[in-house]
A and B are shown apart, each in its own frame.
Chain A
Amino acid sequence: MNNIESLKSYFSSEIVLILGLVVLIFLSLRRGHSDHKSMSPASSVVSVVTLFLAITAALSVNFTESQPLFHGMIALDPFGQFFKILIMGTTLVTVVFCTCSRDLENTPGPEFMAFLMALCLGLNVMCVSNNMLMMYLAVEMASLVSYIMAGYMTENKRSEEAGLKYVLYGGLASGVMIFGMSLLYGLTGSLDLVSIRQVVINNPPDQLILFLTFIMILTGLGYKMAIAPFHMWSPDVYEGAPLPVTAFLSVASKAAGFALTLRFLFVAFVATEVEGTWSAVSAIDWQMLVAVLSAVTMTVGNVLALQQLNIKRFLAYSSIAHAGYMLMAVAAQSGGGLEGVVFYFMVYFLMNLGAFLVAGVILNQRHTEDMRDYKGLVRQGASGLFLALTLSVFLFSLTGIPPFAGFIGKWYVFKAVINAGLLWLAVIGALNSVISLYFYVRLIKFMLVDSAEKNDTIERVPLRFASLISIFAALTLVFGLYFAPLVKWTQASVVMFR
């Protein structure tokens, strides 16, 4: 489809985001704005309206079958739409999160929201790019803005360090990735993923070089997903970045990374599809590679999380472990596995953002990131009780204990893995779930069982936080028991891969 047609009918949510970005930049140029207040109300309102319109636009895009846009640079399909909506939803929550965050006080306000819009846009493009040039540009756009946002607390040493570390790792990873992409272009003569697949199947290039190329591109993608062994940056960056940014990166950035990887693997490097199971191209059998990466990722994430007492680092390692579980479903190479990933992301969105929101409230009031300061939270007034109980719901769900939504997510993933015959991987996954039980329950014990050293009550939780946290906790419970609508949506989302 040509440029004008694509722009007119199918690109409305991106256009809305760009307009919002421009408005926010102009807002930050107003006279007399130089006093740094934290988030200015005007910029938050503009961001919320922009995101709301963009989500509506994305939902209202009507198409009967998936098709290439912009001469095949971008793909229009339910899979991309799903991830776009997930990412814009995360951004919406993050905007609300930012309006009331201690980390972001004394930082320039309206620009921050503009960066958030740009990041959201970059991640959106990542989810739909169908061409290596667009893949690289989208990854660069998302990374560049992430670096700025991670180092946003310019007066905080740790935030600066986080930004710098992110730049160094990110620069290296994207350098390796674009080197790989240029080699792949040289080998296949095409940037388009679909044409690459044709060449790799019909006219396979030298296997060793192709494999090297594949690994190099996977390095860049793995860095975006924060999977081992490319995860080194994530604990330090998550710890140093402002808390809302950490929450955003751990959900949206990871989601876009997975969307991009799935598209890369399942469009360019699969040979045949029989009744919902794929086989990799004969030149590169990536099933075992992904399976091993997933086993390593979840083990590293869970084992290192055991030691953590800082809530941000703790959630960082936990998110690495969750990336491992999701990668497990990718290794299944089946429709069930893809559904598992998509389903897991919906659940992960709820429970991970919920946990970050609770941590944000406590950081705002107590000025602490240490998990030992959560001791006796349940007995510190009505707000303390509310926070302790909701955080317990999120943590139980992250562990994957029924009847919470996390259990259903894990169940889908394990089902796909066992159906694919990767029993050893399922066993490693189960063992990792047991390890994770220890550290999630330790935090719950801190809050519910232990008694506090000082007995001061938690002040009233701001209304927007309280409502968001209650909605997320309620949905975590509801989707654990009644998940049919989610299943329907996931099945519709992966239909175009068949």
Chain B
Amino acid sequence: MNPYFFYAFATITVLMVVLMILQKNPITGAMCLIVSFFSLAGLYVLLEAHFIAVLQILVYAGAIMVLFIFVIMFLNLKKEDLKTGRRPFYQFAALIASGALVTFLVVQYTKIPPVSFPESVAGFGTVEAIGSLMFSKYVIAFEVIGLLLLVGIIGAVLLGKKENHD
């Protein structure tokens, strides 16, 4: 793993997530989240998990973010809805709690002995390797997922459709 790439992606991920929390406007927050998803996918690539990297972009940055943004637009928030009353006590408590957590994590991090990762076998994490496992050893699980999605779709249509009473 190239350390420069790792630090670049990791910094972007963390920065964007922090920005997302600090944003007042939910749409801007969602956009920051997308960027962090992309750089997270970059981290997966560095770990040789190419398939998961693709999934991360397709599923999270694609499908799930669209859902988020759809809901945010659906709510149609106005400017005055976004203003929250300042509560100094809670802000102070939150600051102390998160500070304590960060200190704890940093202390724990320094205690971890250095780990050398084993070299990955050729073809590890590629679509091909995962696909052949999915259709050989785990084929029964794959089929069960198929049925699960089928009944899920039918159920969603059934519960969601408007009845016409005429």
B-binding residues in A (CB < 8 A)? 3, 18, 21, 25, 70-71, 73-74, 108, 111, 114-115, 118, 121-122, 125, 133-134, 137-138, 140-141, 144-145, 147-148, 151, 154-155, 163
Asked whether, in the complex, the Cβ of B148 is within 8 Å of the Cβ of A114, the reply is no
Interface-lining segment among B18-26, B118-126, B149-157:
B149-157
Contact pick for B151, options A74, A114, A138, CB 8 Å: A114
Asked whether, in the complex, the Cβ of A144 is within 8 Å of the Cβ of B152, the reply is yes
Q: Which residues of A contact B141 (CB under 8 A)?
A: 73, 133-134, 137
Asked whether, in the complex, the Cβ of A3 is within 8 Å of the Cβ of B140, the reply is yes
Asked whether, in the complex, the Cβ of B159 is within 8 Å of the Cβ of A145, the reply is no
Instruction: Give the interface size class of chain B.
Output: 10 to 19
Asked whether, in the complex, the Cβ of A118 is within 8 Å of the Cβ of B151, the reply is yes
The 10 closest A-B pairs by CB, nearest first: A148-B155, A70-B140, A118-B151, A141-B148, A71-B137, A137-B144, A73-B140, A133-B141, A144-B152, A3-B139
Q: Which residues of A contact B150 (CB under 8 A)?
A: 25
Q: Which residues of B contact A125 (CB under 8 A)?
A: 144
Q: Which residue of B lies closest to A151 (CB)?
A: B159
B82-140 contacts to A (CB < 8 Å): 136-140
Prevailing SS type, chain A contact patch? helix
Q: Which residue of B lies closest to A2 (CB)?
A: B136
Knowing A137-B148, A154-B159, the reply to whether A114 touches B154 (Cβ < 8 A) is yes
Knowing A121-B147, A138-B144, the reply to whether A148 touches B159 (Cβ < 8 A) is yes
Q: List 15 A-B contacts (CB under 8 A).
A: A18-B147, A70-B139, A70-B140, A71-B137, A73-B138, A115-B151, A115-B155, A122-B148, A137-B148, A140-B148, A141-B151, A144-B155, A148-B155, A151-B159, A154-B159
Q: Which residue of B lies closest to A121 (CB)?
A: B147
Q: Which residues of A contact B137 (CB under 8 A)?
A: 71, 73
Separation in Å of the B157 CB from the closest CB of chain A? 9
| B81 located at the interface, meaning its Cβ lies under 8 Å from any Cβ of chain A in the complex | no
Q: Which residues of B contact A111 (CB under 8 A)?
A: 154, 158
Q: Which residues of B contact A122 (CB under 8 A)?
A: 148
| B80 located at the interface, meaning its Cβ lies under 8 Å from any Cβ of chain A in the complex | no
| B75 located at the interface, meaning its Cβ lies under 8 Å from any Cβ of chain A in the complex | no
A-binding residues in B (CB < 8 A)? 136-141, 144-145, 147-148, 150-152, 154-155, 158-159, 163
Complex Cα distance, B151 from A137, in Å, reads 13
Complex Cα distance, B151 from A18, in Å, reads 12
Q: Which residues of B contact A134 (CB under 8 A)?
A: 140-141, 144
Q: Which residue of A lies closest to B160 (CB)?
A: A154
Separation in Å of the B27 CB from the closest CB of chain A? 26
Q: Which residues of B contact A148 (CB under 8 A)?
A: 151, 155, 158-159
Prevailing SS type, chain B contact patch? helix
Q: Which residues of A contact B148 (CB under 8 A)?
A: 122, 137, 140-141, 144
Q: Which residue of B lies closest to A108 (CB)?
A: B158
Q: Which residues of B contact A114 (CB under 8 A)?
A: 151, 154
Contact pick for A25, options B140, B154, B163, CB 8 Å: B154
Q: Which residue of B lies closest to A3 (CB)?
A: B139
Q: Which residue of A lies closest to B154 (CB)?
A: A111
Knowing A115-B155, A154-B159, the reply to whether A137 touches B145 (Cβ < 8 A) is yes
Q: Which residues of B contact A163 (CB under 8 A)?
A: 159
Contact pick for B147, options A74, A108, A141, CB 8 Å: A141
Most buried by B among A18, A21, A154: A154
Not counting A114-B154, A140-B148, a sample of 18 additional A-B residue pairs whose C-beta atoms are within 8 angstroms of each other reads: A3-B139, A18-B147, A21-B147, A21-B151, A70-B140, A71-B136, A74-B140, A115-B155, A122-B148, A133-B138, A133-B141, A137-B145, A137-B148, A141-B147, A141-B151, A145-B151, A147-B155, A154-B163
Complex Cα distance, B146 from A141, in Å, reads 10
Separation in Å of the B150 CB from the closest CB of chain A? 8
Q: Which residues of A contact B144 (CB under 8 A)?
A: 125, 134, 137-138, 141
Complex Cα distance, B135 from A3, in Å, reads 10
Q: Which residues of A contact B155 (CB under 8 A)?
A: 115, 144-145, 147-148
Complex Cα distance, B159 from A490, in Å, reads 41
Complex Cα distance, B154 from A151, in Å, reads 14
Complex Cα distance, B158 from A394, in Å, reads 36
Complex Cα distance, B163 from A436, in Å, reads 44
Complex Cα distance, B140 from A133, in Å, reads 10
Complex Cα distance, B152 from A94, in Å, reads 21
Complex Cα distance, B141 from A134, in Å, reads 6
Q: Which residues of B contact A3 (CB under 8 A)?
A: 136, 139-140
Complex Cα distance, B140 from A224, in Å, reads 22
Q: Which residues of A contact B159 (CB under 8 A)?
A: 148, 151, 154, 163
Q: Which residues of B contact A154 (CB under 8 A)?
A: 159, 163
Complex Cα distance, B72 from A247, in Å, reads 40
Q: Which residues of B contact A121 (CB under 8 A)?
A: 147
Complex Cα distance, B147 from A118, in Å, reads 8
Q: Which residues of B contact A71 (CB under 8 A)?
A: 136-137
Separation in Å of the B153 CB from the closest CB of chain A? 11
Asked whether, in the complex, the Cβ of B163 is within 8 Å of the Cβ of A155, the reply is yes
Q: Which residue of A lies closest to B161 (CB)?
A: A154
Separation in Å of the A74 CB from the closest CB of chain B? 7
Separation in Å of the A106 CB from the closest CB of chain B? 9
Complex Cα distance, B126 from A69, in Å, reads 27
Q: Which residues of B contact A145 (CB under 8 A)?
A: 151, 155
